[in-house]
């Protein structure tokens, strides 16, 4: 093995994501050799499929390639692997290089390139990086410089963009009743024909510029297959090319179409994705120079057959740099991506041809991942069907995502082309309320404390919202609405945030209140909130009882654990007042602590500056610097701790 090299490995994903699985095996390192500097690691995918001997270091390359080809956007590729093993760094890194080279050949037929080999053990968090141009162990070089980037998103999105192409195909299949096995061959042949047509010189591709967050008109051009680098086999393609005028449109860069916000990031893409749109247009009569009337031919069936209309809904998302030409993006990314997805869906359709699977691609950008991924779901039986749940759990495991929260459900899928407003996340859910108001508040004043906060987004519900007068009695209702909004934003629930009357009706329906309760101005507390959450969302709750407000600081450690493990908003009810707790800042050594309070008693308009400056959302100590008690000594308090459902 050669000595150290001056080459640098740049890691954009968090180091913890590379170490998310301490089981022996491999993690594929993902990069973008076309658009990012060499040896830039963007993310990692866990290798899930091994050969029947269950050797975690012997991948089933065919299965791995089928899944990753579907998952990974064109524009990204495997650039190496991480070996999780016994601490023999050089040998482990060599096995990682060897595996990633084979994997690239299975994926796209390209294995001969510089690759990153990395190794870690099962105990420490040390990762050793090597680079190699071949699978010969002697050619590996130790990397002397490894940079874990503090601001990784700028590498991806500062000069990067997304391209999207949707295409729906309906293939009529006639399967002989006594020869159903022939259906697979027929479908395979039709899919091959459809794939070939995507490379036809007569096919046109309409490219439309993104138009979100801009007043400029959408820019669009049409490119034909003969203008692209598709190596067509048609003998008359040169004649067609000669008959067309070169417009120079093929040399336009993606930046001509992608009018993006300078502050684009993964979080803005999750809320409102923007992409260059590609449409496929097929002119079936273009290659026929002679004028003719339409002709219909009749071919009688020679045997009884069953007609199946097999639907292929393609939705391909690709990544490119802004200076990449649109013609190259079509020929090297979009069209190969369409063909890959067409073949992936074909493999899933053929075994279940007679039961007509309903396969749809969706794009996701879960937290901790810097780039989108694509998943194809069969929606015949809905998302809650066991097989779909197992598929999502497998994807969570591959991507290193937590197994106790839904991040890859259809409701999590990226939304494209939504008009921006003050709050795009709220627009997605049909609301214009303020969200996450605590992000603008000053520090707590606790010295040396550890801050534990709510995990996820929520909306701020308070008195007089939407013109409904609940001043003096509706604070617990408003706290409950904030809690429900959290479950909606985290995709645990799809129901709307309940009104006061709907909350009251739920309590009546379960027998906790009399019918006269509906429409009243009666208070509710932590117990009633737990009933409603259970009935409407199926959410269980933990309740902490405190005899006096001055005892609340004693619960800070328990609350800190709650926010670290559950991450849900907490309702605090005492006397006739209710608050929403969003976090705690706790110094275990000194016992000093502060509570991050979202106060539902606010009656003004949704002015964030006014809310923060007025202390309606802010850190509160049980006793402030002037000796005033925020929590009353002569009142008991109930703390409602909603639990996070264990689901994907």
Q: Per residue in 66-76, pLDDT tens?
A: 999 999 999 99
pLDDT, tens only, 98-131:
999 999 999 988 756 889 999 998 888 889 999 9
User: 637-642 and 541-546: which strand pairing?
Assistant: antiparallel
Task: Kindly report whether the global pTM for this prediction surpasses the value 0.85.
Answer: no
pLDDT, tens only, 440-492:
899 898 999 999 999 999 999 999 999 999 999 999 999 999 999 999 988 88
Predicted confidence at residue 425, as pLDDT, reads 40
378 φ/ψ angles, rounded to the nearest 5 degrees: -95, 115
From the candidates 161, 475, 541, 593, give the one annotated as an active-site residue: 475
To the query of whether residue 133 is one of the catalytic residues in this protein, the response is no
To the query of whether residue 110 is one of the catalytic residues in this protein, the response is no
To the query of whether residue 55 is one of the catalytic residues in this protein, the response is no
Whether residue 571 contacts residue 479, with contact meaning beta carbons closer than 8 Å, is answered with yes
pLDDT, tens only, 299-324:
777 788 888 888 999 999 999 999 99
Predicted confidence at residue 63, as pLDDT, reads 95
From the candidates 121, 462, 599, 617, give the one annotated as an active-site residue: 599
Q: What residues form DSSP beta bridges with 253? A: 325
From the candidates 49, 512, 601, 606, give the one annotated as an active-site residue: 601
Q: Taking 70 as the threshold, does the pLDDT of residue 2 lie above it?
A: no
What are the CA-CA distances from residue 514 to residues 219, 508, 519 (Å)? Answer: 62, 6, 11
Predicted confidence at residue 182, as pLDDT, reads 81
> Which of 387 and 470 is assigned the larger pLDDT?
470
Query: DSSP states of 433-488 as a string?
Result: --B-GGGG------TT-EEEE--S--B---TTGGG---TTT-HHHHHHHHHHHHHH
Predicted confidence at residue 98, as pLDDT, reads 92
CA 482 to chain centre: 24
Q: How confident is the model at residue 289 (pLDDT cuts 50, 70, 90)?
A: low
- List all residues 6 or more positions away from 532 whose beta carbon is below 8 Å from its beta carbon: 480, 498, 503, 506, 507
Average pLDDT over residues 86-107: 91
Q: Taking 80 as the threshold, does the pLDDT of residue 403 lie above it?
A: yes
DSSP strands (E only) in 354-399: 359-364, 373-378
Q: Taking 80 as the threshold, does the pLDDT of residue 587 lie above it?
A: yes
């Amino acid at each position: 093995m050669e000595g150290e090299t001056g080459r640098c490995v740049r890691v954009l994903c968090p180091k913890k994501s590379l170490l998310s699985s301490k089981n022996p095996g491999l993690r594929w390192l993902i990069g973008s050799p076309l658009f990012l500097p060499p040896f830039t690691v963007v993310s990692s995918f866990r290798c899930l499929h091994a050969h029947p001997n269950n050797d975690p270091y012997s991948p089933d390359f065919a299965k791995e390639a089928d899944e990753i080809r579907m998952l990974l956007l064109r524009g990204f590729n495997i650039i190496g692997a991480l070996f999780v093993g016994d601490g023999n760094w050089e040998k482990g890194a060599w096995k990682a290089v060897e595996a990633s080279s084979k994997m690239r050949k299975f994926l796209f037929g390209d294995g001969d390139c510089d690759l990153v080999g990395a190794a870690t053990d099962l105990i420490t968090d040390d990762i050793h990086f090597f680079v190699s141009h071949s699978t010969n162990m002697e050619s590996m070089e130790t990397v002397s410089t490894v940079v874990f980037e503090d601001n990784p998103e700028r590498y991806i999105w500062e000069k990067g963009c997304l391209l999207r192409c949707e295409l729906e195909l309906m293939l009529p299949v006639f399967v002989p009743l006594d020869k159903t096995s022939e259906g697979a061959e027929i479908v395979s042949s039709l899919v091959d024909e459809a794939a070939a047509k995507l490379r036809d010189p007569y096919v046109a591709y309409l490219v439309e510029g993104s138009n979100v967050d801009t007043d400029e008109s959408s820019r669009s051009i049409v490119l034909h297959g003969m203008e692209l680098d598709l190596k067509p086999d048609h003998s008359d393609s040169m004649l067609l090319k000669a008959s067309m005028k070169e417009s120079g449109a093929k040399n336009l860069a993606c930046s001509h179409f992608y009018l993006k916000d300078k502050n684009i990031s993964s979080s803005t893409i999750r809320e409102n994705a923007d992409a260059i749109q590609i449409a496929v247009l097929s002119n079936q009569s273009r290659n026929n120079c002679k004028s003719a009337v339409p002709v219909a031919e009749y071919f009688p069936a020679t045997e009884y057959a069953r007609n199946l209309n097999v639907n292929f809904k393609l939705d391909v998302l690709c990544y490119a740099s802004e200076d990449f030409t649109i013609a190259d993006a079509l020929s090297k990314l979009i069209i190969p991506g369409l063909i890959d997805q067409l073949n992936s869906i074909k493999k899933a359709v053929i075994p279940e041809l007679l039961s007509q699977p309903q396969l749809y691609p969706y794009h996701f950008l879960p937290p901790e991942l810097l780039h989108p991924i694509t998943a194809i779901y069969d929606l015949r039986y809905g998302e809650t069907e066991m097989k779909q749940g197992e598929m999502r759990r497998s994807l969570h495991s591959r991507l290193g995502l937590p197994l106790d929260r839904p991040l890859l459900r259809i409701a999590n899928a990226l939304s494209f082309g939504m008009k921006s407003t003050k709050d795009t996340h709220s627009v997605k859910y049909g609301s214009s309320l303020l969200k996450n108001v605590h992000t603008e508040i000053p520090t707590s004043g606790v010295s040396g404390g550890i801050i534990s906060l709510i995990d996820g987004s929520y909306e701020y519900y308070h008195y007089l919202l939407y013109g409904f007068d609940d001043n003096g009695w509706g604070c617990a209702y408003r706290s409950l609405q904030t809690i429900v909004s959290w479950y909606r934003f985290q995709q645990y629930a799809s129901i709307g945030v309940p009104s006061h009357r709907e909350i009251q009706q739920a309590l009546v329906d379960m027998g906790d209140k009399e019918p006269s309760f509906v429409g009243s101005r009666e208070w509710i507390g932590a117990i009633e909130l737990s009933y409603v959450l259970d009935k409407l969302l199926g959410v269980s709750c933990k309740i902490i009882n405190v005899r006096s407000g001055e005892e609340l600081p004693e619960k800070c450690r328990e609350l800190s654990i709650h926010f670290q493990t559950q991450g849900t908003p907490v309702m605090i009810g005492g006397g006739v007042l209710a608050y929403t707790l969003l976090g705690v800042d706790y110094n275990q050594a000194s016992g000093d602590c502060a509570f991050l309070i979202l106060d539902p008693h606010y009656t003004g308009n949704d002015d964030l500056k006014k809310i923060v400056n007025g202390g309606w959302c802010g850190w509160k100590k049980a006793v402030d610097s002037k000796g005033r008690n925020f929590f009353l000594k002569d009142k008991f308090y109930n703390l409602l701790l909603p639990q996070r459902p264990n689901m994907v």
